Amino acid sequence: MRILSGIQPSGALHLGNYFGMMRPAIELQEKGEAFYFIADYHSMTSLFDANERRKNTLDVALDFLACGLDPKRSVFFKQSDVPEVCELSWLLSTLTPMSLLEKSHSYKDKIAKGIPVNHGLFAYPVLMAADILIYDSNIVPVGQDQKQHVEITRDIAIKFNEQYGQTFVIPEPQIRESVAKVPGIDGEKMSKSYGNTIEIFGDEKALRKKVMALKMDSRQPAEPKPDADQNLAIQLLKVIDAGVGKEWEEKLRAGGLGYGDLKKKLFEVYWEYFAAARQKRAELSANLDFVNQVLADGAAKARGKAREVLQRARKASGLE
Protein backbone atom coordinates (compact mmCIF):
# COMPACT_ATOMS: atom_id res chain seq x y z
CA MET A 1 0.00 0.00 0.00
CA ARG A 2 1.34 3.43 -0.94
CA ILE A 3 0.75 6.37 1.36
CA LEU A 4 1.53 9.85 0.09
CA SER A 5 1.28 13.41 1.31
CA GLY A 6 2.90 16.77 0.79
CA ILE A 7 3.29 20.05 2.58
CA GLN A 8 4.08 23.43 1.09
CA PRO A 9 7.19 25.29 2.24
CA SER A 10 5.14 28.41 2.83
CA GLY A 11 5.93 29.21 6.48
CA ALA A 12 6.55 27.81 9.93
CA LEU A 13 4.96 24.51 10.90
CA HIS A 14 2.01 24.95 13.26
CA LEU A 15 -0.26 22.84 15.46
CA GLY A 16 -2.81 22.44 12.64
CA ASN A 17 -0.20 21.08 10.21
CA TYR A 18 1.26 18.81 12.84
CA PHE A 19 -1.92 17.25 14.23
CA GLY A 20 -3.95 17.43 11.00
CA MET A 21 -1.37 15.99 8.65
CA MET A 22 2.11 15.36 9.95
CA ARG A 23 1.39 13.15 12.92
CA PRO A 24 -1.11 10.93 11.07
CA ALA A 25 1.37 10.72 8.18
CA ILE A 26 4.20 9.73 10.51
CA GLU A 27 2.06 7.08 12.16
CA LEU A 28 1.13 5.67 8.76
CA GLN A 29 4.76 4.99 7.87
CA GLU A 30 4.33 1.71 9.77
CA LYS A 31 1.40 0.69 7.58
CA GLY A 32 2.90 0.71 4.11
CA GLU A 33 5.41 2.41 1.87
CA ALA A 34 5.10 6.12 2.55
CA PHE A 35 6.17 8.90 0.20
CA TYR A 36 6.27 12.38 1.74
CA PHE A 37 7.41 15.46 -0.09
CA ILE A 38 7.93 19.19 0.22
CA ALA A 39 5.61 20.85 -2.30
CA ASP A 40 7.98 23.57 -3.51
CA TYR A 41 6.38 23.82 -6.97
CA HIS A 42 3.05 24.46 -5.30
CA SER A 43 4.53 27.17 -3.08
CA MET A 44 5.35 29.13 -6.26
CA THR A 45 1.67 29.96 -6.68
CA SER A 46 1.72 32.22 -3.63
CA LEU A 47 5.30 32.81 -2.47
CA PHE A 48 7.50 34.89 -4.75
CA ASP A 49 10.71 35.25 -2.79
CA ALA A 50 13.38 32.77 -3.93
CA ASN A 51 15.49 32.93 -0.78
CA GLU A 52 12.47 32.50 1.42
CA ARG A 53 11.46 29.42 -0.56
CA ARG A 54 14.96 27.95 -0.10
CA LYS A 55 14.89 28.64 3.62
CA ASN A 56 11.34 27.36 4.10
CA THR A 57 12.13 24.18 2.18
CA LEU A 58 15.01 23.37 4.51
CA ASP A 59 12.81 24.25 7.49
CA VAL A 60 10.09 21.82 6.40
CA ALA A 61 12.73 19.10 5.94
CA LEU A 62 14.02 19.74 9.47
CA ASP A 63 10.48 19.90 10.89
CA PHE A 64 9.35 16.64 9.34
CA LEU A 65 12.48 14.74 10.35
CA ALA A 66 12.42 16.21 13.87
CA CYS A 67 8.78 15.20 14.29
CA GLY A 68 9.54 11.57 13.55
CA LEU A 69 9.63 10.97 9.82
CA ASP A 70 11.98 8.01 9.52
CA PRO A 71 13.97 8.16 6.28
CA LYS A 72 14.78 4.46 6.57
CA ARG A 73 11.10 3.65 6.33
CA SER A 74 9.72 6.47 4.21
CA VAL A 75 10.78 8.15 1.02
CA PHE A 76 11.20 11.86 1.74
CA PHE A 77 11.94 14.29 -1.08
CA LYS A 78 11.45 17.66 -2.68
CA GLN A 79 8.65 17.85 -5.25
CA SER A 80 10.77 19.71 -7.82
CA ASP A 81 13.42 16.98 -7.76
CA VAL A 82 10.88 14.93 -9.71
CA PRO A 83 10.06 17.25 -12.65
CA GLU A 84 8.13 14.38 -14.27
CA VAL A 85 5.11 15.58 -12.27
CA CYS A 86 4.96 18.65 -14.48
CA GLU A 87 4.64 16.54 -17.61
CA LEU A 88 1.97 14.38 -16.03
CA SER A 89 0.20 17.53 -14.88
CA TRP A 90 -0.06 18.59 -18.54
CA LEU A 91 -1.49 15.26 -19.61
CA LEU A 92 -4.06 15.46 -16.82
CA SER A 93 -4.94 19.08 -17.50
CA THR A 94 -6.21 18.19 -20.97
CA LEU A 95 -8.89 16.01 -19.38
CA THR A 96 -9.75 18.41 -16.56
CA PRO A 97 -12.94 20.38 -17.13
CA MET A 98 -12.56 24.09 -16.34
CA SER A 99 -15.72 23.83 -14.27
CA LEU A 100 -14.05 21.34 -11.90
CA LEU A 101 -11.29 23.84 -11.12
CA GLU A 102 -13.68 26.76 -10.90
CA LYS A 103 -15.39 24.94 -8.02
CA SER A 104 -12.17 24.65 -5.98
CA HIS A 105 -12.65 26.17 -2.50
CA SER A 106 -9.07 27.27 -2.13
CA TYR A 107 -9.21 29.10 -5.46
CA LYS A 108 -12.57 30.68 -4.67
CA ASP A 109 -11.32 31.75 -1.23
CA LYS A 110 -8.35 33.54 -2.77
CA ILE A 111 -10.64 35.37 -5.19
CA ALA A 112 -13.02 36.29 -2.37
CA LYS A 113 -10.11 37.75 -0.40
CA GLY A 114 -9.10 39.85 -3.39
CA ILE A 115 -5.75 38.07 -3.77
CA PRO A 116 -4.57 38.36 -7.39
CA VAL A 117 -4.75 34.84 -8.82
CA ASN A 118 -2.33 33.41 -11.35
CA HIS A 119 -2.78 30.48 -13.70
CA GLY A 120 -0.63 28.28 -11.43
CA LEU A 121 -3.10 28.79 -8.62
CA PHE A 122 -6.01 27.87 -10.86
CA ALA A 123 -4.16 24.76 -12.05
CA TYR A 124 -2.99 23.90 -8.52
CA PRO A 125 -5.31 20.89 -8.11
CA VAL A 126 -4.09 19.39 -11.40
CA LEU A 127 -0.48 19.46 -10.24
CA MET A 128 -1.64 17.98 -6.95
CA ALA A 129 -3.41 15.22 -8.87
CA ALA A 130 -0.16 14.52 -10.72
CA ASP A 131 1.70 14.37 -7.38
CA ILE A 132 -0.69 11.74 -6.12
CA LEU A 133 -1.19 9.68 -9.27
CA ILE A 134 2.45 9.53 -10.34
CA TYR A 135 3.32 7.34 -7.35
CA ASP A 136 0.30 5.00 -7.59
CA SER A 137 -0.84 6.31 -4.20
CA ASN A 138 -3.64 4.54 -2.36
CA ILE A 139 -3.98 6.70 0.76
CA VAL A 140 -3.49 10.46 1.15
CA PRO A 141 -3.44 11.65 4.78
CA VAL A 142 -4.44 15.34 4.90
CA GLY A 143 -6.45 17.87 6.89
CA GLN A 144 -10.06 18.61 5.98
CA ASP A 145 -9.15 21.58 3.76
CA GLN A 146 -7.43 19.26 1.27
CA LYS A 147 -10.31 16.82 0.90
CA GLN A 148 -11.71 18.52 -2.17
CA HIS A 149 -8.32 18.41 -3.87
CA VAL A 150 -8.14 14.66 -3.42
CA GLU A 151 -11.68 14.37 -4.78
CA ILE A 152 -10.65 16.36 -7.84
CA THR A 153 -7.71 13.97 -8.21
CA ARG A 154 -10.09 11.02 -8.16
CA ASP A 155 -12.32 12.63 -10.80
CA ILE A 156 -9.37 13.29 -13.10
CA ALA A 157 -7.95 9.78 -12.65
CA ILE A 158 -11.30 8.14 -13.38
CA LYS A 159 -11.69 10.27 -16.49
CA PHE A 160 -8.21 9.37 -17.73
CA ASN A 161 -8.80 5.66 -17.12
CA GLU A 162 -12.09 5.84 -19.01
CA GLN A 163 -10.59 7.72 -21.91
CA TYR A 164 -7.27 5.90 -22.32
CA GLY A 165 -7.68 2.63 -20.45
CA GLN A 166 -6.73 1.58 -16.93
CA THR A 167 -3.68 3.66 -16.02
CA PHE A 168 -4.03 5.17 -12.56
CA VAL A 169 -4.77 3.90 -9.07
CA ILE A 170 -7.75 5.77 -7.58
CA PRO A 171 -6.62 7.27 -4.23
CA GLU A 172 -8.56 7.81 -1.01
CA PRO A 173 -8.13 10.79 1.31
CA GLN A 174 -7.63 9.91 4.95
CA ILE A 175 -8.81 12.54 7.39
CA ARG A 176 -8.79 12.27 11.18
CA GLU A 177 -12.06 13.75 12.28
CA SER A 178 -10.86 14.87 15.75
CA VAL A 179 -8.09 17.04 14.28
CA ALA A 180 -9.50 17.72 10.81
CA LYS A 181 -9.70 21.44 11.55
CA VAL A 182 -7.50 22.65 14.39
CA PRO A 183 -8.58 26.17 15.43
CA GLY A 184 -6.14 29.09 15.43
CA ILE A 185 -5.72 31.80 18.07
CA ASP A 186 -8.74 33.64 16.62
CA GLY A 187 -10.95 30.53 16.63
CA GLU A 188 -10.89 30.23 12.82
CA LYS A 189 -9.04 27.35 11.09
CA MET A 190 -5.38 27.63 12.00
CA SER A 191 -3.49 28.55 8.83
CA LYS A 192 -0.26 30.22 7.83
CA SER A 193 -2.22 32.41 5.48
CA TYR A 194 -4.50 33.71 8.26
CA GLY A 195 -1.66 34.68 10.64
CA ASN A 196 -3.39 32.88 13.52
CA THR A 197 -0.95 30.05 14.13
CA ILE A 198 0.78 28.57 17.15
CA GLU A 199 4.08 27.31 15.80
CA ILE A 200 5.70 24.07 16.82
CA PHE A 201 9.25 25.37 16.80
CA GLY A 202 10.16 28.87 17.86
CA ASP A 203 11.07 31.16 20.66
CA GLU A 204 9.64 30.05 24.01
CA LYS A 205 8.93 33.53 25.30
CA ALA A 206 7.10 34.66 22.18
CA LEU A 207 5.06 31.47 22.02
CA ARG A 208 4.13 31.65 25.69
CA LYS A 209 2.96 35.20 25.08
CA LYS A 210 0.82 34.05 22.17
CA VAL A 211 -0.84 31.34 24.23
CA MET A 212 -1.39 33.62 27.23
CA ALA A 213 -3.00 36.18 24.90
CA LEU A 214 -5.73 33.78 23.73
CA LYS A 215 -9.00 35.70 23.97
CA MET A 216 -11.41 34.49 26.65
CA ASP A 217 -14.72 35.94 27.83
CA SER A 218 -15.18 38.07 30.94
CA ARG A 219 -16.87 35.56 33.23
CA GLN A 220 -15.41 35.19 36.73
CA PRO A 221 -13.32 32.10 37.62
CA ALA A 222 -15.85 30.90 40.21
CA GLU A 223 -18.67 30.78 37.70
CA PRO A 224 -19.49 27.31 36.26
CA LYS A 225 -19.06 27.18 32.46
CA PRO A 226 -21.57 24.77 30.91
CA ASP A 227 -20.13 25.60 27.48
CA ALA A 228 -16.58 24.55 28.45
CA ASP A 229 -16.24 22.44 25.29
CA GLN A 230 -16.49 25.64 23.21
CA ASN A 231 -13.51 27.20 24.98
CA LEU A 232 -10.57 27.68 22.60
CA ALA A 233 -7.89 26.73 25.15
CA ILE A 234 -9.79 23.54 25.97
CA GLN A 235 -10.15 22.70 22.27
CA LEU A 236 -6.42 23.14 21.73
CA LEU A 237 -5.58 21.18 24.88
CA LYS A 238 -7.75 18.32 23.61
CA VAL A 239 -5.93 18.33 20.27
CA ILE A 240 -2.58 17.96 22.04
CA ASP A 241 -3.66 15.58 24.81
CA ALA A 242 -7.23 14.29 24.75
CA GLY A 243 -7.05 12.98 28.35
CA VAL A 244 -5.76 16.18 29.94
CA GLY A 245 -8.11 18.19 27.73
CA LYS A 246 -11.14 16.28 28.95
CA GLU A 247 -10.05 16.59 32.58
CA TRP A 248 -9.59 20.37 32.33
CA GLU A 249 -12.84 20.73 30.42
CA GLU A 250 -14.62 19.23 33.44
CA LYS A 251 -12.74 21.58 35.80
CA LEU A 252 -13.76 24.57 33.72
CA ARG A 253 -17.35 23.38 33.51
CA ALA A 254 -17.57 22.96 37.28
CA GLY A 255 -16.36 26.50 38.04
CA GLY A 256 -13.38 27.62 40.10
CA LEU A 257 -10.84 27.52 37.29
CA GLY A 258 -9.52 30.84 36.01
CA TYR A 259 -8.67 31.36 32.34
CA GLY A 260 -5.09 32.38 33.25
CA ASP A 261 -4.45 29.01 34.91
CA LEU A 262 -6.06 27.19 32.02
CA LYS A 263 -3.83 28.94 29.50
CA LYS A 264 -0.76 28.26 31.63
CA LYS A 265 -1.65 24.58 31.60
CA LEU A 266 -2.15 24.66 27.84
CA PHE A 267 1.27 26.20 27.33
CA GLU A 268 2.91 23.67 29.65
CA VAL A 269 1.35 20.67 27.93
CA TYR A 270 2.15 22.02 24.47
CA TRP A 271 5.74 22.94 25.33
CA GLU A 272 6.39 19.55 26.94
CA TYR A 273 4.78 17.65 24.07
CA PHE A 274 7.33 18.94 21.57
CA ALA A 275 10.40 18.89 23.86
CA ALA A 276 11.96 15.82 22.22
CA ALA A 277 11.22 17.10 18.71
CA ARG A 278 12.85 20.42 19.58
CA GLN A 279 15.98 18.62 20.75
CA LYS A 280 16.04 16.49 17.60
CA ARG A 281 15.59 19.54 15.39
CA ALA A 282 18.56 21.27 17.00
CA GLU A 283 20.70 18.19 16.32
CA LEU A 284 19.56 17.98 12.70
CA SER A 285 20.25 21.69 12.14
CA ALA A 286 23.86 20.99 13.04
CA ASN A 287 24.00 18.17 10.49
CA LEU A 288 22.62 19.57 7.25
CA ASP A 289 24.69 17.19 5.13
CA PHE A 290 22.60 14.37 6.54
CA VAL A 291 19.35 16.22 5.77
CA ASN A 292 20.44 16.97 2.20
CA GLN A 293 21.48 13.36 1.69
CA VAL A 294 18.07 12.14 2.90
CA LEU A 295 16.37 14.37 0.33
CA ALA A 296 18.73 13.29 -2.46
CA ASP A 297 18.19 9.60 -1.70
CA GLY A 298 14.45 10.16 -1.48
CA ALA A 299 14.38 11.99 -4.81
CA ALA A 300 16.22 9.14 -6.55
CA LYS A 301 13.70 6.59 -5.28
CA ALA A 302 10.66 8.74 -6.00
CA ARG A 303 11.90 9.54 -9.48
CA GLY A 304 12.26 5.86 -10.35
CA LYS A 305 8.61 5.26 -9.52
CA ALA A 306 7.46 8.48 -11.21
CA ARG A 307 9.17 7.57 -14.49
CA GLU A 308 7.47 4.20 -14.51
CA VAL A 309 3.99 5.64 -14.04
CA LEU A 310 4.56 8.55 -16.42
CA GLN A 311 5.60 6.13 -19.12
CA ARG A 312 2.44 4.14 -18.53
CA ALA A 313 0.40 7.32 -19.02
CA ARG A 314 2.38 8.35 -22.13
CA LYS A 315 1.80 4.95 -23.69
CA ALA A 316 -1.86 4.87 -22.78
CA SER A 317 -2.47 8.29 -24.30
CA GLY A 318 -0.59 7.60 -27.55
CA LEU A 319 2.50 9.72 -26.95
CA GLU A 320 4.51 6.54 -27.33
Do the beta carbons of residue 143 and residue 19 sit within 8 Å? no
Stretch that binds ligand ADP, among 2-10, 163-171, 275-283, 310-318 (CB under 6 A): 2-10
225 binds, among ligand TRP, ligand ADP, none (CB under 5 to 8 A by kind): none
Do the beta carbons of residue 40 and residue 53 sit within 8 Å? yes
CB of 84 to ligand TRP, least distance (A): 14
Spatial distance between the Cα atoms of 110 and 98, rounded to a whole number of angstroms: 17
Please indicate whether residue 181 is annotated as part of the active site: no
Of the pair 42, 225, the CB lying nearest ligand ADP is at 42
CB of 258 to ligand ADP, least distance (A): 27
Spatial distance between the Cα atoms of 51 and 238, rounded to a whole number of angstroms: 37
Backbone angles phi, psi at 183, to 5 degrees: -75, 150
Please indicate whether residue 192 is annotated as part of the active site: yes
62-66: long-range contacts at Cβ-Cβ below 8 A with a sequence spacing of 24 or more?
Answer: 62/281, 62/284, 62/285, 62/291, 63/13, 63/22, 63/200, 63/201, 63/281, 64/7, 64/22, 64/36, 64/38, 65/280, 65/281, 65/284, 65/291, 65/294, 66/201, 66/277, 66/278, 66/280, 66/281, 66/284
The residue among 146, 47, 155, 154 whose CA lies nearest residue 105 is: 146
17 binds, among ligand ADP, ligand TRP, none (CB under 5 to 8 A by kind): ligand ADP
Q: Within 5-146, where are the H helices?
A: 15-17, 23-28, 40-43, 50-66, 84-93, 98-102, 105-112, 119-122, 124-133
Q: Which of 22, 29, 38, 42 binds ligand TRP (CB under 6 A)?
A: 42
Does 197 bind ligand TRP (CB under 6 A)? Our answer is no
238 binds, among ligand TRP, ligand ADP, none (CB under 5 to 8 A by kind): none
Does 146 bind ligand ADP (CB under 6 A)? Our answer is yes
CB of 39 to ligand ADP, least distance (A): 8
Does 133 bind ligand TRP (CB under 6 A)? Our answer is no
CB of 188 to ligand TRP, least distance (A): 17
Query: Using CB atoms, what's the residue nearest to ligand TRP?
Result: 6
CB of 214 to ligand ADP, least distance (A): 15
Total residues contacting ligand ADP (rule CB under 6 A)?
20
Stretch that binds ligand TRP, among 50-58, 96-104, 125-133, 224-232 (CB under 6 A): 125-133
Q: Is 17 left (phi over 0), alpha (psi -120 to 50) or beta?
A: alpha
Q: Which of 2, 6, 14, 91 binds ligand TRP (CB under 6 A)?
A: 6
Interacting residues toward ligand ADP by CB under 6 A = 7-8, 10, 16-17, 20-21, 142-143, 145-146, 179-182, 189-193
